[in-house]
A and B are shown apart, each in its own frame.
Chain A
Amino acid sequence: MEAFLVPLRVQKGGNAEGEYEDAFHPPGNGKVEGAALRFAIADGASEGMLSGAWARILVELHCRFEWTCSSLEQFLERAYQDWRSFKSEYLRDRKERNHPVQWYEEPGLQAGAFSTLLGLTLTGSSNEQAGQWTAVAIGDSCLFQVRGSTLVEKFPVERSSDFNSRPVLIASNPARNDQAISAIRRVSGTFGSGDAFYLMTDALAQWSLKEDEEGRNPWALLRALDTEDAPAFDVWIDGLRSTKELRNDDVTVIRIDLLRA
C-alpha cells in the first residue's frame, strides 16, 4: 500500500515559530509505503506547561505502538515513561543553562502538560489501494475521509458547533487522566483507491466542517493548497484569521492521499 503525505502547519498569529504546540507524525512529506501505515496529529493545550513536547511524545508513540494487542492504559504507561525522561532532561538543561525554574512555572510543571491525540492506522494489501482504517481520538483533533469532493466520514467531532475551548485532553500527569480514559473514541471503516484523509487540529477542522455544512466544499480548496498556484499556507490562514472565519490558534493539517491503483 502506498500513500502520499502532505503536512502543513503554522503557529498562532503573534507567536514565534518555536511556540507552535501542535505536533504530527511522520514528520516528512512525500510517499510512504507499508502493509500498515500510521499517522497522528496532536494539539498541545495553550494553558499548560511544555504542551508541545507532550503532543510530540504522543504522536511519535502512536506511530510505533502496537495498538492491536494493547490497551489505552498500556499506551499511556509508555507515554508517561517518555514524558518523565523528557522532563528530567529538560530540567537538567535548565540547570546547566543557569536558568532555574521560576515560581510561576512551578504549578504548571506540577500539573503537567495536556494534549489531544488523533491517530490513524491504514491496513491493506500491497497490490491494492484499498483496505481498512481505524482511528483513535481523545479531544477535538479531527479526521475527515473525503472521496472526490464528498465528505464520507468525520471523526470524532460531527458538527462545527460542537467545538469548545474546554475539551478533555490527555494529561502527562496520570492522576488527571480518569476523564480522558473514559473519553477515548475509536472508529473504523474502509477506504478505496483515490480517497484522501485529512487530520486537523481544531481551528481548521471547525472551519472545514462549517464550510462543508454550508455547501461550500472546502475539500477542493484544501486539496489545492500545496500546488504551485495556491497561496502559501500561512498567507491563506492569515487571510481566514483576519476575516474572523478562523480562530487564532496553531493550525496543522496532514493530508494523506491513497494513490490510485
Chain B
Amino acid sequence: MSYTAEISRRNPSCFLFLIDQSGSMVDPFGGEESGRRKADQVADVINRLLQNLIIKCAKQEGVRDYYHIGVIGYGTQVGPAFAGALAGRELVPIGEVANNPARIEAREKKVDDGAGGLADQTVRFPIWFDPVATGGTPMCQALTRAQSIMQGWTSQHAHGFPPLVINISDGEPTDGDPSVPAQSVIQLATSDGNVLLFNIHISSQSGAPIIFPDSQETLPDDHARLLFSMSSQLPEFLRTFVQQEGINVSENTRGFAFQADLVTLIKFLDIGTRPSNLR
C-alpha cells in the first residue's frame, strides 16, 4: 500500500514550496476592490503554511524534525528563498525553520472569552517571507530545480513518506510549458509512493475559493486550468480525508486550490495520535 510509511524523526518526510515572486504578482489579488496584491497573498499563504506545519510538529520545549523543508523562489532568480540564518539552504530540518523566522510579529486575534463573547488576544505570528514581485515567471526552471532537489531527497530516503511539492503562483509562466517539468517531478517516487505536486493558484480574478476540484469545468480561466492539469491526483488516503472535510471527491480530484491556502492539508498529516476532539 502506498503513502503508509511512518513519519518520524528517523523517517522524516519533506515539503518543498515553490513561490512565484515575479513582477505580475504586483497585480491585485481577487479583484481590484481587495486592496491586496497577489504577492501579499503568496507571502501570507507560505507563512501560514509554515506556521501550521511547525505547530503540528511542536512538542513542549521543541519542534520534532518530522519534515525537511525547502522554499524555492522564482522571479528575477530561481533559488533558495529563506533569508537570515537559513539563507542559501535548499532543505532545512523543520526545527531549524521554527527557530529562525525573519521576525515575529504580534497580532491581535479574537478569541472566545468563555462567557459568550469575544476577547482580543495577542498572538505571536512568525514571518519568514515578505512579499516580492520582480522579474519574469520562470516556473519551468523552478520545477526543474524541484525535480533535482527531489531526486536527491528520494534517493537518500528511498523508503520515506513521499515528499509534497507545493507551487504557489498566478499560473502565468514566462519560460514555456511547465507541464513537462511538472511531470518529471511527479514521476519521482520512494518505495511508498510518488512525489506529490500540488498547486495553489493566487489570481487577480474575483471568485469564491475552490479546493480539491475534480474537473476543470468550475475553474475561472486558462491559468487555473494549467495549474490544475499539472497537479497530482489525490492518492486514496488523501481522498478519504478530504471527503471527511465535506468536499466531494472522485478519482479525478487533484491537489489544486484557487484563492485558498490549503492550510487544511496540514490537518491530514499523520504523525501520530490526533484526538478527534481537537479540531
Which residues does B use to contact A, with CB under 8 Å?
A: 6, 8-11, 51, 54-56, 58-61, 63, 98-99, 104, 112, 114, 123-126, 270-278
Contact among B8, B126, B275 with A103 in the assembled complex (CB-CB below 8 Å): B126
B274 nearest in chain A by CB position:
A47
Decide yes or no whether A165 CB sits under 8 A from chain B.
yes
Q: Which residues of the other chain, A, contact B274 by a CB distance below 8 angstroms?
A: 45, 47, 165-166
Counted as pairs of residues, one from A and one from B, with CB atoms less than 8 Å apart, the total is 97
Please give, as numbers and ranges, the residues of chain A lying within 8 Å of B112 by CB-CB distance.
175
A106 touching B278 in the complex, CB below 8 Å, given contacts A13-B10, A165-B270:
no
Contact A47 B277 (CB under 8 A): no
A168 within 8 A of B: yes
The answer to whether B276 touches A166, judged by C-beta atoms less than 8 angstroms apart, is yes
Closest-CB distance, A227 to chain B (whole angstroms): 31
Known: A45-B272, A104-B98. A50 touches B9 (CB 8 A): no
Chain B interface: which of A67-75, A119-127, A176-184?
Answer: A176-184
Complexed CA–CA distance, A78 and B60 (Å): 24
Q: Is the CB of B98 within 8 A of A45?
A: no
Most buried by A among B6, B55, B112, B273: B273
Any B CB within 8 A of the CB of A189: no
Residue of B nearest to A174 (CB): B114
Known: A13-B10, A47-B278. A106 touches B273 (CB 8 A): no
Given contacts A104-B55, A104-B63, A108-B58, contact A169 B9 (CB under 8 A): no
B60 touches A47 (CB 8 A): no
Q: Which residues of B contact A49 (CB under 8 A)?
A: 58-60
Q: A202 CA to B58 CA in the complex, in Å?
A: 23
Q: How many residues in A have their beta carbons less than 8 Å from beta carbons of B?
A: 39
Complex alpha-carbon distance, A128 and B273, angstroms: 41
Contact with B along A1-17 (1 / 0, CB 8 A): 00000000000111100
| A103 CB to nearest B CB, Å | 4
Task: Decide if B60 touches A105 in the complex (CB within 8 Å).
Answer: yes
- In the complex the two chains form, is B8's CB within 8 Å of A45's CB? no
Task: Judge whether B275 and A167 touch: CB under 8 Å.
Answer: yes
Q: A104-B54, A165-B274, A248-B6 are in contact. List 10 more A-B contacts (CB 8 A).
A: A14-B11, A45-B275, A46-B273, A47-B271, A104-B63, A106-B124, A165-B273, A167-B276, A169-B276, A176-B278
Min CB–CB distance A156 → chain B (angstroms): 15
The chain B residue with its CB closest to the CB of A50 is B60
List B contacts of A178 (CB < 8 A): 277
Find out whether the CB atom of B273 lies under 8 angstroms from the CB atom of A43. yes
